[in-house]
Amino acid sequence: MSTEKKIKMFVLGLDGGSLNFVQPWIEGGYLPNFKTLMELGCSGDLESCLPPVTMPAWRVYSTGKYPGKLGVFWHQQLDMKNRTVITPNASMIHSADYWDYLNRAGFRTGIFGMPDLYPPRPVDGFVVCGGPSVSSTEYSYPQNWAAELEREVNYEVCLKGDFFGAEADSPIVAEALNVIEKTFRGADYIYRRDPVDFLMTAIFDINRIQHFFYDQKPSLQAWQIADDWLGKFAPQFEYIAIMSDHGTESLERAFFLNVWLKQEGYLFTKFKPMDILPKLGINRTTAGKIISILGLRRFLDFESVRKYSSLLPSASGVFGEFGNQAVLSRTDWSKTRVIALAQGPIYINRELVKDQDEYERLRSELVEKLEAMQEPRSGKRVFKKVYRSEEIYQGPHAEMAPDLMALNFDEYHNRAGLSQPAVFADSWAWKGNNRHNGMFMLAGPGIRHGTTLKGVRIVDLAPTILHLHGAAVPDDMDGRVLEEAFLPDSSHSLVPIQRQAAIDVGYTFKKEVESDQIISDRLRDLGYIE
């Protein structure tokens, strides 16, 4: 592609961003640059994937493909044959990202802070991976950028610590806001030294703040940092896009799916004498909350916290193991037919449910019961829909999918822990929950002004970005080019959409045991697992 035809584009990704959440701040004048972008371009809700969670949603965005073509379905996946937890990383995904195709079309690209890119792979430009999946100092390509960023801008991949027990004015909140600021400063630092044609910057920790503070001051402060940097980056590019992996909604109550499965006779646990401790509230989670409430986190290093917390049982009553692995160890597999992860994935034990007719009857039974489930206080249904895997996952990796995927209404958080005596509980710490619809904005030459688009999906962004650059769209992408975003007389409308054969990046999965534990710790700090 000739230099004359090249455009400059900036994409800002905001984990958990949604218009229902920020619209009042935009209209109130708190986010002037976002307001200007909405006026100059088109915007709307962005339908995420299932489940609408950081992993797999960011890679669904970057590849333009749903999880069945990627082989990742949540932050962690169950290997039912070996009864263990797999923590996916980028090496599991063979699909190319849209910037690989931009590189082939002659555009140099820079990707900064996007989750679920670790370990990084080579691009024509640079990559700096974002949390929570980074587990080493080798999180950049070229590799030297990581050390330089840490030296020059004191860069941190993601916040160390958690918000359990924190107030809006707690030091940990100031630290989180500083991490967001340093992410932008890091992107700006590299871009000034390597002014690529296409720059994407993603902010993960904004979602962490929203989970624990929802629409309170810390969330507004985080968005104001993003707005300020949007104003700095925008003048340097022709095209500007905003997107999110999912949205955020006010959280009412938590639903403990494995507790329900146990009560209904689908899941059984082993009894141990130490089971009494979690029932008395003595476990790692409550100990961690007490440490945070007393403000002791700053005096304890990460390894000390891990060392002493391992002396206590997990909230599921298991010693020496964390998160979903603790739930699996607690399970009596000789009787258990069904087990679940948080936020939707449900797995059936095919060693016990071997007959296909029995398998289908069991799935139908679970779908019927869960879709009828009501929260007792309000009488509202908990789940919008419970999908059979083949309804939503197609592609070469669909066989790795959970047997069912339960999509809850946005105000209910689906958890996987086994320690809770009741199926429902008031929110333990989160005030904001993942919402199925995120957000997008797009502005630049040939883009409609002040227009709201309907029916836009997260998989539609990759092919649209490629078409804007005059690049062909791979034939295996699930998304479509958003032609309704273009002015009728623009070149984007007049030039036919081109197609090309998809490429395979040829990754081989690299399982890192130490990495799995670090990521599990981060997921626990976020509140995703116990």
What is the tens place of the pLDDT at every residue in 146-201?
999 999 999 998 887 777 777 888 888 999 999 999 999 999 999 999 999 999 99
CB 243 within 8 Å of CB 48: no
pLDDT score of 89: 87
CA–CA separation, 279 vs 327, rounded Å?
15
- DSSP of 9-44: EEEEEETT--HHHHHHHHHTTS-HHHHHHHHHSEEE
CB 470 within 8 Å of CB 1: yes
Q: C-alpha distances in angstroms, 210 versus 184, 266, 526?
A: 18, 34, 11
Based on the number of CB atoms within 10 Å of its own CB, is 240 exposed (0-12), middle (13-18) or buried (19 or more)?
buried
pLDDT score of 517: 60
CA–CA separation, 40 vs 446, rounded Å?
11
Q: Domains of the chain by range and CATH?
A: 7-250+433-517 (3.40.720.10), 253-426 (no CATH)
pLDDT score of 1: 42
What's the whole-model pTM score? 0.89
Q: Please report which confidence band the pLDDT of residue 308 belongs to, taking 50, 70 and 90 as the band edges.
A: low
Q: C-alpha distances in angstroms, 407 versus 43, 319, 413, 447, 523?
A: 25, 31, 10, 34, 20
CA–CA separation, 97 vs 284, rounded Å?
39
Instruction: Show the tokens assigned to 324.
Output: 């979903």
Question: Please, which residues have CB within 8 angstroms of residue 186's CB and are 6 or more apart in sequence?
Answer: 112, 113, 128, 149, 153, 155
Q: Please report which confidence band the pLDDT of residue 322 belongs to, taking 50, 70 and 90 as the band edges.
A: very low
The residue with greater pLDDT, 142 or 165, is 142
In what helix (H) or strand (E) does residue 184 lie, and over which residues does it extend?
helix 171-193
Amino acid at 362: L
Among left, alpha and beta (phi > 0; psi -120 to 50; other), residue 165 is left
Sign of the four-CA dihedral 411, 211, 162, 113: positive
pLDDT score of 216: 93
The answer on pLDDT for 272 being more than 90 is: no
SS3 state at 431: coil
pLDDT score of 321: 42
How much is the average pLDDT of 46-63?
97
Instruction: Show the tokens assigned to 361.
Output: 């009857």
The answer on pLDDT for 320 being more than 50 is: no
Residue at token pair 């806001």: 177
Q: Across all residues in the chain, what is the average pLDDT? A: 88
How much is the average pLDDT of 119-141?
88
Alpha carbon of residue 265 to chain centroid? 32
CA–CA separation, 266 vs 455, rounded Å?
37
The answer on pLDDT for 513 being more than 50 is: no
Instruction: Show the tokens assigned to 465.
Output: 């970005």
Strand locations in 185-232, DSSP E? 198-203
* Cα first-last separation, the chain: 51
In what helix (H) or strand (E) does residue 520 lie, and over which residues does it extend?
helix 513-526
Q: Please report which confidence band the pLDDT of residue 84 belongs to, taking 50, 70 and 90 as the band edges.
A: confident
Q: C-alpha distances in angstroms, 398 versus 65, 216, 391, 393?
A: 12, 40, 10, 6
pLDDT score of 328: 82
The residue with greater pLDDT, 241 or 75, is 241
The closest alpha carbon to 528, from 414, 390, 436, belongs to 414
16-36 per-position pLDDT tens digit: 999 998 999 999 999 999 999
CB 109 within 8 Å of CB 102: yes
385-436 per-position pLDDT tens digit: 999 999 999 999 999 999 999 999 999 999 888 877 889 988 668 889 999 9
CA–CA separation, 270 vs 83, rounded Å?
15
The answer on pLDDT for 3 being more than 50 is: no
Please state the three-class secondary structure of 141-162 as a single string: ECCHHHHHHHHHHCCCCCCCCC
CB 323 within 8 Å of CB 54: no
Q: C-alpha distances in angstroms, 393 versus 53, 346, 417?
A: 16, 14, 26
CA–CA separation, 431 vs 21, rounded Å?
13
pLDDT score of 521: 65
CA–CA separation, 125 vs 147, rounded Å?
17
The residue with greater pLDDT, 211 or 325, is 211
pLDDT score of 461: 99
